[in-house]
Amino acid sequence: MRIDKYLQLSGIIPRRSRAQEACDRGYIELNGRRAKPAASVAVGDRITARLGRRQSTYEVLVLPARPVPKASRQEAARLIDSVTLEE
């Protein structure tokens, strides 16, 4: 599954166009490397997202076929770490 699609379906980033833009700007890393929107995601991968002043790292648990409900999002991606970045 493409990383931009995964970010949208898992709820990490609510819109696919925003996920693509975040990848293009270098705000998304997949297993420690800068991710392009078409990068392939697999179960067990680690995604680091710098959104605003927050940097969060997630572990991919499931590749959802449809958008994950808000109450079940921790089943798609496990939050490993989250820090506030200083400017």
pLDDT at residue 32, rounded to an integer: 94
Mind listing the domains of the chain with CATH numbers?
3-84 (3.10.290.10)
Q: Could you tell me which residues come within 8 angstroms of residue 68 by beta carbon, excluding any fewer than 6 positions away?
A: 9, 10, 11, 75, 76
Contact 46, 32 (CB under 8 A): yes
pTM score, whole prediction: 0.91
> What tokens does 46 get?
């680690």
Q: Could you tell me which residues come within 8 angstroms of residue 44 by beta carbon, excluding any fewer than 6 positions away?
A: 59, 60
pLDDT at residue 87, rounded to an integer: 66
Could you report the per-residue pLDDT of 38-85, keeping only the tens digit for each?
999 999 999 999 998 999 999 999 999 999 999 988 999 999 999 998
